[in-house]
Amino acid sequence: MKIGIVCYPTFGGSGVVATELGMALSKRGHEIHFITYKQPVRLEQLSNNIHYHEVNVPEYPLFHYQPYELALSSKLVDMVKLHQIEVLHVHYAIPHAYAGYMAKKMLREEGIDIPMVTTLHGTDITLVGNHPFYKPAVTFSINKSDVVTSVSQSLKEDTLKLFDIKKDIKVIPNFIDISKQDNPFTDCQRGLMASDEEKIITHISNFRKVKRIDDVVKIFYNIQKKIKAKLIMVGEGPEVSVAKQLVNELGISSNVLFLGESNEINKILCFSDLFLLPSESESFGLAALEAMINGVPVISSNTGGLPEVNKQGYSGYLSNVGDVEEMAENGLKILKDKETLALFKENAKKMASKFDINAIVPLYEEIYENALQLV
């Protein structure tokens, strides 16, 4: 099949899922066309059947906001015609489903019918899309998609609760490419980060308010009172400076490392002992899954789709949002001795392997096949 994928090309989970999906589909013989404003960060290499088409938005001083949706839908029309793309798969409703629908309509005028699959990822529903200024357009574009998928059961329920949705929503969970984690060449340089007796605790995100970064710091603060530990913070975003300030105030700067954005997540996770994800809301928690497949147990909040990924007392622990005391106690329970930590590490890996990419990609293929019958 020739599949057009629209996504955010950034480190955010939706972009990562879209990119990994596209790469996996290309390995299964499909021709993939990424259509976005920058080459996706996780896109390893372009090949015969992976293409990237850049959406350019010309700057014009009259516009306070440059019309990205317009440029995207025009690019979609051009690319569908040029490459005979058969299916459009848009990740994140805003504004991709809206632009995709406009492209479909324009193509129809030229006698071309193309189905559009929309995958809902989380903040497009729970935070941004739900805003009254966007809600009518988001509702419309979800209802006008030929097939709608969501990355967790919890996100499906939120979508049905928050929007007037007439379409069936299929749950297809996010996934992980296990073969990448089993790479024997991963250079696990634990010694560079901490001494043997120190535990390594990690947080990876885009440092938005929803991630409750101050809770990450407070959980670590409580843990390091009891055991020797280092906190590694990976990612960039508006809350980095707030976190740095809190770290200074608590006097723990020598034990906290801010690494910025990284494409070497597996290298960092391979020496991590615990992963913290105390988010306010989280439709799935791909970062937790990436930690788990690297054998890192997770301390998370029990919000959104996290209970579908992290299993209480098995791959980690879940607590109410904001309960940093309980989260720290649970972290200490996991880290208390070698045997317990080893068991949780093993369990985290086992739990994560349920989300094997090889089981999930055929579900998307089936969706594309069905979508083709709908137009």
The only residue of 19, 141, 283, 303 in contact with ligand GMT, by rule CB under 6 A: 283
**Of 7-15, 70-78, 130-138, 156-164, which segment contacts ligand GMT by CB under 6 A?**
7-15
Determine which residue in the list 55, 89, 92, 138 makes contact with ligand GMT, applying CB under 6 A. Answer: 92
* Shortest reach from residue 362's CB to ligand GMT, in Å: 19
Stretch that binds ligand GMT, among 77-85, 96-104, 223-231, 280-288 (CB under 6 A): 280-288
Residue of the chain from 6, 14, 69, 141 that contacts ligand GMT (CB under 6 A): 14
Contact between 285 and ligand GMT by CB under 6 A: the answer reads yes
* Comparison of 20 and 31: residue with beta carbon closer to ligand GMT: 20
Question: DSSP label at 128?
Answer: S
Count the residues of the shown chain that bind ligand GMT, applying the rule CB under 6 A. Answer: 20
Q: Which stretch binds ligand GMT (CB under 6 A): 26-34, 194-202, 277-285, 320-328?
A: 277-285
Our CB check for ligand GMT shows the closer of 121 and 199 to be 121
Q: How far is the CB of 142 from ligand GMT (least distance, A)?
A: 15
Distance of CA 171 to the CA centre of its chain: 15
Residue 23 engages ligand GMT in binding (rule: CB under 6 A): no
One DSSP character per residue, 177-206 reads -HHHHT-TT----GGGT--TTSEEEEEES-
Say whether residue 206 binds ligand GMT (CB under 6 A).
yes
Q: How far apart are CA 282 and CA 300, in angstroms?
A: 10
Q: Interface residues for ligand GMT in 42-71 (CB under 6 A)?
A: none
Nearer to ligand GMT, 16 or 77 (CB): 16
Q: Footprint of ligand GMT on residues 158-177 (CB under 6 A)? A: 174
Containing 319, the helix (H) or strand (E) segment is strand 316-319
Q: What is the nearest approach in angstroms of ligand GMT to the Cβ of residue 91?
A: 8
Alpha helices for the chain (secondary structure H): 13-27, 68-83, 96-109, 123-126, 135-143, 153-162, 178-181, 213-226, 240-249, 265-269, 286-293, 306-309, 324-335, 338-352, 357-374
Taking CB under 6 A as the rule, which mask of x and - marks residues 116-155 in contact with ligand GMT? -----xxx---------------------------x----
Options 3, 17, 85, 138; binder of ligand GMT; rule CB under 6 A: 17
154 and 305 Cβ atoms separated by less than 8 Å: yes
Min dist CB 363 to ligand GMT, Å, is 15
Closest of 220, 230, 219 to residue 192, by C-alpha: 230
Can you tell me which of 85, 114, 200, 210 binds ligand GMT, judged by CB under 6 A?
A: 210
- Please say whether the beta carbons of 114 and 31 come within 8 A: no
* Contact flag: residue 282 with ligand GMT (CB under 6 A): yes
Residue 179: other Cβ atoms inside 10 A: 10
Q: Which of 26, 118, 154, 281 binds ligand GMT (CB under 6 A)?
A: 281
The residue among 132, 138, 127, 63 whose CA lies nearest residue 101 is: 138
Per rule CB under 6 A, is residue 298 in the interface with ligand GMT? Answer: no
Q: Does 291 bind ligand GMT (CB under 6 A)?
A: no
Q: Which among 87, 96, 78, 86 has a CA at the least distance from the CA of 12? A: 96
Phi, psi of 229 (to 5 degrees): -155, 160
Peptide bond into 307 cis (omega under 30): no
Q: How far is the CB of 176 from ligand GMT (least distance, A)?
A: 11
212 binds ligand GMT (CB under 6 A): no
What is the smallest separation between the CB atom of 113 and ligand GMT, expressed in angstroms?
Answer: 28
Helix (H, G, I), strand (E, B) or coil at 169: strand
Contacts of 232 (CB under 8 A, 6+ apart): 193, 200, 201, 202, 203, 256, 257, 259, 268, 272
Q: Are 293 and 310 in contact (CB under 8 A)?
A: no
Min dist CB 207 to ligand GMT, Å, is: 10
Contact residues for ligand GMT (CB under 6 A)? 12-15, 17, 92, 121-123, 151, 174, 205-206, 210, 281-286
